Amino acid sequence: MKKKLVDVAVVSAIMRIAYGMPILVGLAVLGFAGESAATPLPTTLDQLLTPGATTSFSGLGYSTIQAVWGNGAVRTGPPTTGVAVAGALSGSESGLLFTGVGGSLAYADTPLASLAGTTFGASVIYDVTAPAGSLIDDFTISYAGLESGTASVDVKGAVRDPTTLGVLGSFNFNAASDSVHVILTTPESEVQVFTSLTLSSGLPIFGGAAGSAELTSLQETFSTTGQGGPPSVPEPATLSLFAIGVFGLAVRTRHHRARTN
């Protein structure tokens, strides 16, 4: 008789759990549906410029992305729809890679002598957030381009505190292609990167064009220190199973108390 009572209790608990599952799963899915989804990579730059747009890659989050493309250039290069953005890995660092869609990232030339000396300008600004428990402690920027004649590629900028805009590290290039590793003066959980691109077509020589400059890629990666990692977010099924386990324990405890009274 005692065994039969236990069997009835177990069946009763299972039935309650089974009927409760659709509700628990539904609540879990509803909770996740309410969160705003980050834009997956790869994408194009225009998709990241809408207010509130974010993206992430390898544990780092990117937000408050701004860009200006083309400042009175002979050829302004692609609009933001023509700039591809992808995740980048370099050793232990991760970050973003900017390239042109079906062409160069930026380009300036002098098809007419009267236009020689004009420039192409662009800038990209964004915030980078480290995973919980980690700090961003250094930054590497590398880019590839081409120069001919007296044309030039200039890439400069800084890593700043997003609140005070205090400079944590800076870079300044005047070469077709280059790369530099910047150790931040103080590690931060969030930093802002400001990158300015200037391509000059050079000065005219004997009434003709002096050359052209082209930027094909720009990569910016970061390393972190600390034991943090991407926040662990349980999947809806995991949440449901956890809730079901607690529910079953509560049923069993109540039944045990009822028998002892």
- Where is mean pLDDT largest: 60-69, 73-82, 112-121? 60-69
Dump the DSSP string for the chain.
Answer: -HHHHHHHHHHHHHHHHHHHHHHHHHHHHHHHHTSPPPPPSSEEGGGG-STT--EEETTEEEEEEEEEE-SS-SS----GGGEEEEEEEETTEEEEEEEESSS-SEEE--SSGGGTT-EEEEEEEEEEEPPTTEEEEEEEEEEEEEE-TT-EEEEEEEEE-TTT--EEEEEEEESSSEEEEEEEEEEESEEEEEEEEEEE----BTTB----EEEEEEEEEEEEEES--S-----HHHHHHHHHHHHHHHHHHHHHHHHH-
Name the band, by pLDDT with cuts 50, 70 and 90, for residue 111.
low
Tens of pLDDT, residues 54-66: 999 999 999 999 9
The region of weakest confidence among 33-37, 98-102, 116-120 is 33-37
Residue 12 has pLDDT above 80, yes or no: no
Predicted pLDDT of residue 102? 81
Predicted pLDDT of residue 106? 81
201-230 average pLDDT score: 71
Tens of pLDDT, residues 178-207: 999 999 999 999 999 999 988 776 654 444
Tens of pLDDT, residues 89-106: 999 999 999 998 887 888
17-38 average pLDDT score: 42
